[in-house]
Amino acid sequence: MRRVRLLPALPLVLALLGADAAARAPLPTVPKVDLERYMGEWYVIANIPTAWESGAFNALESYRLNPDGTIATTFSFRKGGFDGPLKVMKPKSWVRDPESNAAWWMQFFWPLKAEYLIAYLSPDYSQSIVARTKRDYVWIMARTPQISDADYERLVRFVAAQGYDVGRVRKVPQRWDATVPNAKHPA
């Protein structure tokens, strides 16, 4: 008797499972990343922010290759405004796909690891998109604090083509001049 009552709900359950599977379809990465060229500072131009980076201003991600192959990562931003408190995070990072160097793990605290996929990288290493298979968070980054509107729109279209809800993408305010306290992270 109980099976008969659940039978009408089966298509809905299967549809939900299928939607989840589509959202978790493999997310392609760039074929190869030259890690030494990728190291350095990246300004976060836009993102679908995590809870702790919501309201970020002057968001900056920095990478340095350690002798043991891990990546010294520093993420800094001003919370709530250009003069807001400086927030700095230093997750442990490492490449999980040494063939491409495009798939990393980041660990903000043990034992949880966050997926870091370099889904887009311009040939001159001036713009990058970091994504996740879940399509829950994304970061559009550049070597400069501003990019052209045409570049921004092109990168957002790329994010949409990867299956993201681009209505959730938010620009990160970036202003680097003498009137703004330096948001660059401490050494």
- Which pLDDT does position 163 carry in this prediction? 96
In a domain, 187, yes or no: no
Owning domain of residue 52: 35-171
In a domain, 28, yes or no: no
The two three-digit tokens of residue 143, written as one number: 């070597």
Alpha-carbon gap, residue 83 to 67, rounded angstroms:
36
In a domain, 17, yes or no: no
Alpha-carbon gap, residue 25 to 19, rounded angstroms:
10
Return the amino acid letter for 99: E
Looking up residue 60, the CATH number of its domain turns out to be 2.40.128.20
- Which pLDDT does position 119 carry in this prediction? 98
In a domain, 55, yes or no: yes
41 bridge partner residues:
62
pLDDT higher than 80, residue 180: no
95 bridge partner residues:
104
In a domain, 13, yes or no: no
What's the total number of domains in the chain? 1
In a domain, 60, yes or no: yes
Q: What is the chain's Cα-based Rg?
A: 19
The two three-digit tokens of residue 44, written as one number: 């976060």
pTM: 0.83
In a domain, 19, yes or no: no
Residues 6+ apart with CB under 8 A from 2: none
The two three-digit tokens of residue 116, written as one number: 């870091």
- Which pLDDT does position 83 carry in this prediction? 93
In a domain, 1, yes or no: no
Read off the pLDDT of residues 83-129 as tens digits, 9 standing for 90 and up. Answer: 999 999 999 999 999 999 999 988 887 888 889 999 999 999 999 99
77 bridge partner residues:
87
Q: Higher model confidence: residue 131 or residue 176?
A: 131
Residues 6+ apart with CB under 8 A from 65: 35, 36, 39, 71, 72
